[in-house]
Amino acid sequence: MLKKIVSIVGARPNFMKIAPIHRAFQKVDQTKFVHSIVHTGQHYDAKMSDAFFADLDMPSPSYFLGVGSGSHAVQTAKTIIELEKVFLEDRPDLVLVPGDVNSTLAATIVATKMGIPVGHIESGLRSFDRTMPEELNRIATDVLSDLLFVTEQSGLDNLRNEGIDFTKVHFVGNTMIDSLHYALPKADIKSTLEQLGLNRKSFGLITIHRPSNVDDSQQLEMILQVIQKLSESITIVFPVHPRTRKNIEQFGLQQYVENTQQCKLIDPQGYVDFLNLMRYSSFVMTDSGGIQEETTALQVPCVTIRTTTERPSTVEIGTNILIDPNFDTMISTVLPIIQGTVKEGAIPPKWDGKASERVVDIVTSYLQN
């Protein structure tokens, strides 16, 4: 009997986690297993989404729900309503949910209430900061999931400490690193650096988007002052998240980053273009979760401006440095990197580009039993 597996994507980081799983499913017997993708549209920009799907060789989603933005409650509720319709029509045998966005939790709730098994990609990660909505999504999703796919040792430790049934837990590695391995040849032939007038390892790359950093005018102003100061020593490339750009304008902070030759404000980039920038940067300063992992895989110095990280292997093993986001600490951490003093790092276990194959082997075995 044909088994249907549906993966849920809601935001761009989900694409990188699911794309290699889809490719791995194409290698199994298509008369026994079929994999499809539902895009909730939690975060959606037609240009960016289309670019990510093309960069990662993903098929068009079987369903696009167009949930859009809204409060966490509104977004989650709308996704629940729309996904119930999809699951009633499609009758999947298993639902895969990546990461920690609202779509992840919504899909888990709907599937569980309908008696459909759930597999959580990137299970067990914890920041231990319950003011982060993502943390609540992670915890609830792990409690309800039937298959928990873990990327790093901390995930195993956290799930064990939380009393999760360990027969459900599988240490498979990181599917997002699978996407990185897959996309590197494409990134190598991109002319992103040339178009921006950059040389390899001659610039720093900065991304900020978390509410704690960009929704408070004083915090955002301080970070922009850091960027301005760093640009005195090295060219800074700053792909500006829509939320960040809106707040820069709303708070009247454009003077810190505009009309400065050494600071290049650019639009958010497609996956391959951003990978090209990240690979050849001198360092990355970010508040993103996934970028911490990608820089570790690429062995690029990373400075994470957050008080916590749910990806401690990037700090304990990799190239990531976690720092408190204040002016003095940011400057004193990044300047030595610009001057050539960098943290040596290694690549965590099973970040070998084969995590998706392990996931598919486990899912197909589970559905056959």
Q: Distance (Å, rounded) from C-alpha 203 to C-alpha 196?
A: 11
For this structure, is 120 an active site residue?
Answer: no
* Active-site position among 43, 120, 181, 209: 209
The residues assigned a catalytic role are: 209
